Amino acid sequence: MVTFFINHPSPANEAAKHLARSRPIRAQLHARSFLLRLLAIAMTVPAPDSDSRDVKTLVALSGGVDSSVAALLLRDAGVPIEAAYMKNWINEDNIIGECPWEQDITDARRVAEQLGIPFRVVNLMEEYREKVVSYLLDGYTRGLTPNPDVMCNREIKFGVLRQWALDHGFGAIATGHYARRAALPPAIAVSSVTAQISAAAPTAASAPTSDFAPTSDFAPTSTTTSISSPDPMRGPVPPLELCNQIGYKIPGNVPAYALLEGADPNKDQSYFLAMLSQEQLRDARFPIGDLLKPELRALARRAGLATADKKDSQGICFIGQVKMADFLRAYVPDAPGPIVRAVDGRVLGEHRGLHFFTLGQRKGIGVPSNTDGKAYVVVGKRAHDHALLVAFDTSEAPGLFTHEVALHGVRWNTPNPPSPGDSPLDLEGRVRYRDPRVRIKLTVTGADTAHVVFAIPQRGLAAGQVLALHDGPRLLGGGVYV
């Protein structure tokens, strides 16, 4: 019976193979319970946010399978929905690389027709150039390493498109992000991690000035990271009262929400939502956040969606399969300079422009190390002579590892963010997409600035990139490395 189930082409089969590839030991330990879980998934469809059912929602259809299934789940749950494709970029300048916007529109329209929902194309090309492309090019010109995906979500998808939706009678916008949104309880809830300060914690009757409870030195790793999930494939799914800090409704009885990592640890995209505000989060919906990718594909195939087997895109946000180097070559003029070995100042060669490199980069530097078992890595950029600084990739490489960093442009999605003068906060940070969370101590230094100390030195933190701020699986906000 078990053999037949494993071999059957079902959502369970696909997710089981996904599990076996990524975590074979856990697959053996949890085989019985996991198969039962997969069987249940194969027969059910996750429900959307409980407060979404009567809210007219605009689904941002990208032409990919993730947003297609997001629309499918909302429709099947009875949520009144319509769909829109954001037309942001059409590669008018003929940059090398595929920009399949026409095919994406065709696929998105086809899915909308299959689901029986209205569809339109919303032209945001001017806003995209102004808010994302200009930001990207300006950053690279100044020697930074911008994050267009984070900025695109904040300024375009949950910025301009969200406002367009509100102006056209919608109350929410849904996307295909692997992330989760959950309502914060009206009463303040403090976790066991902060039990030692619970006596001093404010009560619901006297709302605190911040959502955060300060602690001294680095606290033990949050219990939320070790809570067992009911599914060995999924990330931790703690009740909100077990989250490390304090959460409650905004004064005036306006509901408040927490942003949580997606259930699939291999696909979690919460990092790219690090700069959203509480206001943007209130209007956001993430219907696929509780799914694993194989489960999502299986649901799309079962529904016969046109995008069920479409390959995921890997290019710049909404620009398609365009490589960053090709994009920069088309818009940023070359500015040659020397490649300098940081430890002794020796000139090793010449580069075409600092904008082609980022801190921690190993590939494409263009100079051999001529030393067995060692490779050069970028450890810095020098503005006055356009020098690219390199060193052997070791823990002693000057400038490669850092124990602390300053942030600017800090943005919180919590109802009552911390303020300058508050005690340092023991949190976790994700230093870049795909990296695990690490323990940090954060001190707010200004209206949108902060100082962060890492429990363990971090490698290659490039100015312009984003640090996502976490309380376990709950994403609290983010800031940009100075």
Burial class (CB in 10 A: 0-12, 13-18, 19+), 398: exposed
Is-contact 247 240, C-beta < 8 A?
yes
Give the number of residues written for the chain: 482
- Nearest by Cα to 111 from 288, 303, 311, 312: 303
Residues 406 and 201: their CA atoms lie apart, in Å, by 29
Residues 172 and 56: their CA atoms lie apart, in Å, by 7
Annotated active-site residue in 190, 317, 340, 390: 317
Burial class (CB in 10 A: 0-12, 13-18, 19+), 266: middle
Annotated active-site residue in 152, 256, 296, 467: 152
Pairing status of strand 474-481 against strand 257-261: antiparallel
Using CA atoms of 401, 260, 407, 190 in order, give the dihedral in degrees to the nearest 10. -100
β-sheet bridge partners, residue 173: 58, 284
Residues 238 and 412: their CA atoms lie apart, in Å, by 21
Burial class (CB in 10 A: 0-12, 13-18, 19+), 336: exposed
The DSSP secondary-structure symbol of 175 reads -
Is residue 152 part of the annotated active site? The answer reads yes
Side chain identity at 88, as an amino acid letter? N
Side chain identity at 365, as an amino acid letter? I
The phi and psi torsions of 298 (rounded to 5 degrees) equal -65, -40
The phi and psi torsions of 148 (rounded to 5 degrees) equal -65, -30
Is residue 317 part of the annotated active site? The answer reads yes
186 three-class SS: coil
Q: Which residues are catalytic?
A: 152, 317
